[in-house]
Amino acid sequence: MANTETALKEATTIEGAIGAALVDYTSGMALGTIGGGKDLDLTVAAAGNTDVVRAKVRTMEHLGLKDEIEDILITLGSQYHLIRLMKSRGAGGLFLYLALDKERANLAMARHQLKKIEAELEV
């Protein structure tokens, strides 16, 4: 089992990774971040993506969908933003956020690797 720091470091080894964060979507706070920079403020991204997750959860409730969100993909002109909701015990209300350079990333592999990181992360 990996801790937050180890999991985020592993996320940055994904081809094309720009930055990663572990976020509590009940508060919008990043519990840990790595990478990013002047063009990607991970604290701002964590808060903004919290709104995305909350909106999707609320919409599913309104629709009566009894399913779970695996991940949410936001495709920009030059980046992919991948949000992976945590399902492991004791990790309710958390998600992993990964920003990728679209030209260098393999989206299918990134999703696969982030799923593996999520499964091994113990919060």
pLDDT digits (tens, 9 = 90+) for 22-53: 999 989 999 999 998 888 999 999 999 999 99
The residues, any chain, with a CB within 8 Å of residue 3's CB and separated by 6 or more, are 121, 122
What does the pLDDT read at residue 123? 78
> pTM value?
0.92
Burial class (CB in 10 A: 0-12, 13-18, 19+), 37: exposed
**Residue 4 reports pLDDT greater than 80:** yes
> 30 in helix, strand or coil?
strand
C-alpha 46/C-alpha 40 separation (Å) is 11
What does the pLDDT read at residue 37? 84
What does the pLDDT read at residue 92? 75
Tell me how many helices (H) and strands (E) the chain has. 3, 5
**In sequence order, what are the beta bridge partners of 108?**
none
Q: Which residue has the higher pLDDT, 123 or 57?
A: 57
- Grade residue 7 by pLDDT with cuts at 50, 70 and 90: very high
C-alpha 10/C-alpha 39 separation (Å) is 21
What digits encode the pLDDT tens for the residues 71-109? 999 999 999 999 999 986 556 789 999 999 999 999 999
What does the pLDDT read at residue 89? 56
- Grade residue 1 by pLDDT with cuts at 50, 70 and 90: low
Q: Which residue has the higher pLDDT, 2 or 19?
A: 19
